[in-house]
Chains A and B, each alone.
Chain A
């Protein structure tokens, strides 16, 4: 089983609509969770960290469900500039500084 699993999509979203997707992780000892954004042929950039209580940053909301071992990202009022791949990233607690990346959810916002 992969450490981090995501449905690659693409998720075709009309401009102004809401889109949400989940990511599951296999290591129950994981302590840190992140969403990174990656534009085509560019490097990943941190979008937001995901906290146990859930957190919101403008139009973006992240949630963590430890019992079911998944995190989610919701994008409200989608903009054309939101078109990108959203990578789910998990950091294991024990032993090292590794991040495990999912393949990403590709979002295409359509005018």
Chain B
């Protein structure tokens, strides 16, 4: 059974046209992450939610926003996609308790491959 689900799997958008990618999880994990991965590069963390607390990476462009309306769902909004935003977008979840950084596994969804025309 799928545990981290991403929709759509493939998304084509036009330059400058807003797009939303979605992620849902059945694991009831309290932490959700969004990564951007370009070809032959490491996944790059954009931001993550610890419960409802949003944590943005310092170098994440303002063009990228996120929403987490409840535990199960998290969205990535790209307000004005540029050609350089074409990539695989990976959602991941983990379960963390307390303030100590988690040693728990991050579970990844299958990703959404974004093409910008």
Interface residues of A (CB under 8 A from B): 4, 8, 31-32, 34, 41-46, 49, 87, 91-99, 101-104
Q: Which bracket fits the contact residues of B?
A: 20 to 34
A34–B102 Cα distance when bound, in Å, is: 12
Q: Residues of A contacting B105 with CB < 8 Å? A: 34, 46, 49
**When chains A and B are docked, how far (Å) is the Cα of A34 from the Cα of B109?**
18
Given A8-B40, A43-B90, A43-B111, are A99 and B103 neighbors across the interface (CB < 8 Å)? no
Task: Write the chain A residue with the least CB distance to B30.
Answer: A97
Point out the residues of chain A lying under 8 angstroms from B45, CB to CB.
Answer: 98-99
Inter-chain CB contacts under 8 Å: number: 58
| CB <8 Å contact, B40 and A92 | no
In the complex, the 7 A-B pairs of residues with the closest C-beta atoms, listed nearest first: A43-B108, A101-B42, A32-B103, A103-B42, A46-B105, A101-B43, A43-B111
Main secondary structure of the interface of A (DSSP, over half): loop
In contact, B41 and A42 (Cβ under 8 angstroms):
no
* A31–B43 touching, CB < 8 Å: no
Check B111–A91 contact: CB distance below 8 A.
Answer: no
Choose among B48, B109, B110, B111 the residue that contacts A97 (Cβ–Cβ < 8 A): B48
The residue of chain A having its C-beta at the shortest distance from the C-beta of B96 within the complex is A97
**Interface digits, B14-47 against A, CB 8 Å rule (1 contact, 0 not)?**
0000000000000000010100000011110100
Pick from A45, A91, A95: contact of B108, CB under 8 Å: A45
A32 shortest CB reach to chain B, Å: 4
In contact, B43 and A95 (Cβ under 8 angstroms): no
A43-B111, A99-B45 known; A93 vs B101 contact (CB < 8 Å) = yes
Q: Of B42, B101, B113, which one neighbours A95 at CB under 8 angstroms?
A: B101
